[in-house]
Amino acid sequence: MPITLIRRADVAIVWDAALGRHEYLAEADLAFEDGKLIFVGRDYAGPAETTRSGSGLMVMPGLVNIHSHPSSEPMNKGFTDEVGSPGFYNSSLYEYLPIFRADAEAIPSCVRVALSELLLSGVTTVADLSMAHPGWLDLLGESGMRVCIAPMFRSGRWYTKNGHVVEYEWNAAAGEKAMAEALSLIERAEQHDSGRLFGMVVPAQIDTCTPELLRDSFAEATARGVSWQVHAAQAVSEFHEITRRHGFTPIGWLHELGLLSERSIIGHGIFLDDHPSTPWHTKRDLDLLAETGTTVAHCPTVFARRGITLKHLGRYKRGGVNMGIGTDTYPHNMLDEMRLAAYLARTQATDPHSLTTTELFEAATTGGARALGREDIGRLAAGCRADLVLVDITHPMMRPARDPLRSLIYAAGDRAVRAVYVDGQQVVEDGRVLTMDYPAAAAALHEAQARVAGRVPQYDWAHRSADQLSPPTFTWR
């Protein structure tokens, strides 16, 4: 592959390996070849077959999203904006999650919509936590993204018969079989022709997996040298279920099983033993996460919709917990997610200094990369992958650009993203995804949602319609 040079970017967010931190570098040159950065600095004097002017641009590392559900969540737009299960402390997991679900025909459109939105908001690496579906690997390869494929499996499913009691239907053998299939899929992903797919082992939820499945899956992740993630401490009902079953909090139970480690990621990790909604006689959960090097995947939007939040991102960071950011729900806009993460952290702490933009950006780049076991993404340095985002710092919403990263996160958002490269290949230009037809996928998803809405009564315990479960903002005439 020929050498591509970005010449004299107004500013680049570069990685200082000696200091272990990002820094601004003015008048920066970045050269890459064969998907890898070969120069990051000033006054590049080597050859270049293609040169792009960096005038008016900020170059930053591609964002790393460690928790997302592209095959399902785009379908929920307009359905779950204002729903919560009162009997489950406003969690929609147990009552609404199984109801508004994409059918097989809609899944490819869901994936294309989610991945397009992620690319347009500067994400170059995403962890795709989905149930296996036909054509999954090729669909991810088509996107041009770097994807950590994370096929979920579990020993049982949850359901409710009345809207306030969670019940579980167990089939341990099916869970073991699904794990074997997931491991095979991970192996196939790592051999994919795109060269951009890798894997993660994901037992779906702490309350739907037997202790044996949790331990066995962790052992497989360890043997394969990949990350391991589980949804845990994500709901009050789940917290009480685990304490009832085992006498430990969800975090305490994972620690008792020996499953907290530097390769472990906790999806959400909100309800610790000192959360106001889940007080417990111990006060060790935060320290356990920090001491074991466990990562928490923080996805504020999906919970904020239901009046729930982590308490709080700055506290977890100050406590020594490695944090990553995810887009658990629609819109799949990483910059919006980061902005909300900052504002919620500060309001929860009642302190504008509780979380810095530096710490927030670390979570969305190097924190996520660390969780995925990657030192070659989430930073701009020679030898790292050429995953780059070019931001238009002349965009009116970026002005004044005294501190361009703050202008991007707190004002301009994805509107200022000019171009995106993954592995040195351009995948976004001037607000348009080059690898997928985003408008066509969105149109197909719009049609599919009407089809799915008609099936809602057969999945709901009370056989309610979509409009009964999620009334429209205004009456339609």
**pLDDT of 425 strictly over 90:** yes
Kindly state whether residue 222 falls inside one of the protein's structural domains.
yes
290 band by pLDDT with thresholds 50, 70 and 90: very high
Radius of gyration for the alpha carbons in the chain, expressed in angstroms and rounded: 22
Kindly state whether residue 352 falls inside one of the protein's structural domains.
yes
214 and 353 both lie in a single domain? yes
The amino acid at 135: G
Kindly state whether residue 454 falls inside one of the protein's structural domains.
no
* Domain, as residue range, for 393: 4-61+381-433
385 and 339 both lie in a single domain? no
44 and 160 both lie in a single domain? no
Kindly state whether residue 457 falls inside one of the protein's structural domains.
no
**pLDDT of 475 strictly over 70:** yes
Mean pLDDT value of segment 68-75: 96
Q: Is the pTM of this model over 0.95?
A: yes
170 and 318 both lie in a single domain? yes
52 and 176 both lie in a single domain? no
The predicted structure's pLDDT at residue 102: 87
423 and 283 both lie in a single domain? no
The predicted structure's pLDDT at residue 97: 85
**pLDDT of 160 strictly over 90:** yes
Decide if 5 contacts 43 (C-beta within 8 A).
no
Q: Provide the number of structural domains found in the chain.
A: 2
420 band by pLDDT with thresholds 50, 70 and 90: very high
The predicted structure's pLDDT at residue 1: 67
276 and 193 both lie in a single domain? yes
100 band by pLDDT with thresholds 50, 70 and 90: confident
Give the model confidence (pLDDT) of 175-233 as tens digits.
Answer: 999 999 999 999 999 999 999 999 999 999 999 999 999 999 999 999 999 999 999 99
Contacts of 212 by beta carbon, 8 Å cutoff, 6+ apart: 172
Mean pLDDT value of segment 45-53: 97
186 and 228 both lie in a single domain? yes
Picking from 414, 433, 452, the residue at the C-terminal end of a domain is 433
The predicted structure's pLDDT at residue 101: 82
**CATH assignment of the domain containing 26:** 2.30.40.10
173 and 301 both lie in a single domain? yes
The predicted structure's pLDDT at residue 35: 97
The predicted structure's pLDDT at residue 316: 98
67 and 57 both lie in a single domain? no
Residue 448: what are its φ and ψ, rounded to 5°?
-65, -35
Picking from 371, 389, 415, the residue at the C-terminal end of a domain is 371
360 and 252 both lie in a single domain? yes
Write out 142-196 in H/E/C secondary structure: HHCCEEEEEEEECCEEEECCCCCCCEEEECHHHHHHHHHHHHHHHHHHHCCCCCC
Kindly state whether residue 293 falls inside one of the protein's structural domains.
yes
21 and 72 both lie in a single domain? no
Mean pLDDT value of segment 385-403: 97
The predicted structure's pLDDT at residue 59: 98
**CATH assignment of the domain containing 261:** 3.20.20.140
Is the four-CA dihedral 322, 323, 324, 326 of positive or negative sign? positive
Q: How big is the CA angle at 129 (ends 440 and 287), to the nearest 5 degrees?
A: 140
Kindly state whether residue 92 falls inside one of the protein's structural domains.
yes
**pLDDT of 474 strictly over 80:** yes
**pLDDT of 329 strictly over 90:** yes
Kindly state whether residue 217 falls inside one of the protein's structural domains.
yes
